[in-house]
């Protein structure tokens, strides 16, 4: 009886350490497979008629010279090694109303952030400000856009979220207007 109890306790200690090790390996190398915790696979399941509905971002960069440029999320987030759409939704969609304002309530206190994480659309730090208002995020975004568009000065990034329906049987894509959410990030 004593040996079985010891093995169970050892498993309870070892399993969290293995999950932690997996996250360390994922950050420094690639997603390990097989893994203790498998990644979630993003996607949308088609309905009975073979139609899948997604909400997708359309990015537009405005420049000081008055010009604009369309930007793909995969280009903006080229260094992200996970589901880029999930990252885009975390930054520019979740917890926002149709005008792009963050509506989720900020959490107060360290324990609330540890237990619940950051509210949708907000930072993890003590300020719990909207992600797009965070000076560090805006600095990264400005630098990334300067890198993508050398010689041009970006003044804002607008992200329009459009509900899009894909019909799998005939390959038709239909975008519904107006956008569901519009977020503008001024870059100064």
For residue 35, the model assigns a pLDDT of 61
The answer to whether position 114 is within a domain reads: yes
For residue 10, the model assigns a pLDDT of 85
Same domain? For 33 and 124 the reply is no
Same domain? For 21 and 103 the reply is no
pLDDT along the chain (188 residues), means of 10: 82 83 69 59 75 93 98 95 88 91 83 76 82 93 97 97 90 90 94
Same domain? For 18 and 86 the reply is no
Same domain? For 102 and 123 the reply is yes
State whether the Cα torsion 20-25-28-31 is positive or negative: negative
For residue 139, the model assigns a pLDDT of 95
Within 13 Å, how many C-alpha atoms sit on residue 138's CB side?
Answer: 15
Same domain? For 72 and 108 the reply is yes
Q: Which domain holds residue 17?
A: 1-39
The answer to whether position 44 is within a domain reads: no
Same domain? For 61 and 126 the reply is yes
């Amino acid at each position: 009886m004593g040996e079985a109890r010891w093995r169970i306790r050892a498993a309870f200690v070892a399993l969290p350490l293995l999950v932690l090790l997996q996250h360390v390996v994922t950050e420094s190398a690639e997603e390990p497979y097989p893994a203790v915790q498998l990644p979630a696979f993003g996607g949308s399941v088609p309905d009975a008629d073979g139609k899948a509905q997604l909400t997708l971002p359309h990015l537009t960069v405005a420049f000081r010279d008055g010009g604009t440029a369309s930007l793909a999320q995969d280009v903006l987030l080229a260094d992200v090694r996970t589901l880029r759409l999930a990252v885009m939704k975390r930054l520019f969609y979740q917890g926002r109303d149709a005008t792009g304002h963050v509506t989720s309530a900020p959490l107060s206190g360290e324990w609330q952030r540890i237990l619940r994480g950051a509210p949708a659309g907000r930072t993890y730090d003590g300020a719990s400000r909207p992600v797009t208002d965070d000076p560090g995020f805006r600095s990264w975004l400005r630098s990334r856009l300067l890198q993508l568009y050398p010689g041009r000065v970006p003044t804002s990034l607008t992200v329009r979220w459009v509900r899009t329906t894909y019909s799998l049987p005939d390959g038709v894509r239909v975008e519904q207007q107006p956008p569901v959410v519009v977020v503008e990030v001024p870059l100064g």
